[in-house]
């Protein structure tokens, strides 16, 4: 199992650290670029949500992001100590409307739900824990001895 | 975010690089706004060097398109990869933007 984690302050200008972490993890572990990009979209949505709505203005906190490759899955876990945040309970976005009427509210969670294979949320004590995962394709599963074959 | 710009006749081609996400959305949107404010009326946004767009990026694209409309400027997209196109589809944005298959087609549409 391969794992890496980083903590960032709850500020938008720190989000780039996580995008770089995902890219590097992807390169190191030969994750197809499509998966890396999907993870980065999902993480951009989640982190932006946490930073925007999870804390009082000016409240300083940290967000933990852990990336791992587990049996058959690529996983991103996000932990924060902000307000309870239940992405799965959010209303679906309004995707109708021409240029003038379109709003992007709810689009982020819509992306997360559709790009990830599984999204799990738990409130543990004072923390939100979100687990995003992408299942590896059958030909990408880890073989005995750690050898992995895959294609993009 | 790095933004490369070129001109072909009256058309300004804007080529952002990287990702139009929370970090990239503001510089990208600001630049389009500056171009329109300073008189550009024919814009092609070439997304070939964009690896992904998050909802923050789509918000910036929508705002850019609205501003272009208000200024009676043309704003056309090109260089949309299959992966990025999937995001447009998920967000039901394909009908809202003029997306061209090639840059030349985009330049023609924006003229």
Write out chain A's pLDDT in tens, 152 residues.
799 999 999 999 999 999 999 999 999 999 999 999 999 999 999 999 999 999 999 999 999 999 999 887 999 999 999 999 766 666 777 787 777 777 777 899 999 999 999 999 999 999 999 999 999 777 665 444 444 444 44
Average pLDDT over residues B69-82: 97
pLDDT digits (tens, 9 = 90+) for B6-24: 999 999 999 999 999 999 9
Instruction: Please give the Cα distance from A106 to A87 (Å, whole number).
Output: 10
With beta carbons less than 8 A apart as the criterion, state whether A62 and A50 touch: no
pLDDT of the residue at B70: 96
- Chain A nearest-CA distance from B80, in A, is 14
User: Would you call B19 helix, strand, or coil by DSSP?
Assistant: strand
Q: What share of chain B is helix, strand, coil (3-state, %, to 5)?
A: 45, 30, 25
CB contact under 8 A, A96 and B92: yes
Contact B68, B109 (CB under 8 A): no
**Cβ within 8 Å, pair B21-A33:** no
CA–CA distance, B21 with A14 (Å, rounded to integer): 13
Quick one: residue B100, left, alpha or beta (phi over 0 = left, psi -120 to 50 = alpha)?
beta
pLDDT at B65 over 60: yes
- Asked if the Cβ–Cβ distance from A33 to B59 is below 8 Å, we say no
Distance from CA of A98 to the nearest CA of B (A): 7
What's the pLDDT score for residue A72? Answer: 78
Interacting residues of A45 by C-beta distance below 8 A, sequence separation 6+:
A108, A109, A111, A112, B54, B55
Report yes or no: B59 at the A interface, CB cutoff 8 Å: yes
B107 touching A (Cβ < 8 Å): no
Q: Band the pLDDT of B52: cuts 50, 70, 90.
A: very high
């Amino acid at each position: 199992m391969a794992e890496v984690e980083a903590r960032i302050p709850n500020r938008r200008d720190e989000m780039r650290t996580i995008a770089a972490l995902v890219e590097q993890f992807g390169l190191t572990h030969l994750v197809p670029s499509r998966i890396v990009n999907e993870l980065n979209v999902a993480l951009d949505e989640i982190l932006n949500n946490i930073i925007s709505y999870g804390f009082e203005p000016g409240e300083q906190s940290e967000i933990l992001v852990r990336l791992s490759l587990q049996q058959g899955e690529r996983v991103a876990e996000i932990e924060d100590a902000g307000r309870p945040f239940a992405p799965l309970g959010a209303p679906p976005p309004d995707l109708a409307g021409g240029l003038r009427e379109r709003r992007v509210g709810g689009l982020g969670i819509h992306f997360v739900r559709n790009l990830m294979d599984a999204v799990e949320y738990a409130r543990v004590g004072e923390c939100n824990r979100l687990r995003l995962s992408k299942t590896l394709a059958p030909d990408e599963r880890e073989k005995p001895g750690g050898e992995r074959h895959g294609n993009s | 975010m790095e933004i490369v710009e070129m001109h072909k006749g009256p058309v300004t081609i804007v080529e952002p690089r990287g990702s139009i996400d929370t970090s990239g959305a503001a510089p990208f949107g600001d630049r389009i706004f500056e171009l329109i404010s300073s008189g550009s009326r024919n814009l092609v946004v070439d997304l070939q060097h964009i690896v992904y767009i998050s909802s923050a990026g789509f918000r910036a694209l929508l705002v850019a398109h609205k501003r272009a409309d208000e200024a009676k400027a043309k704003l056309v997209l090109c260089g949309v990869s299959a992966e990025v196109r999937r995001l447009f589809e998920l967000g039901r944005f394909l009908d809202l933007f003029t997306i061209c298959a090639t840059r030349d087609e985009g330049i023609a549409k924006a003229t």
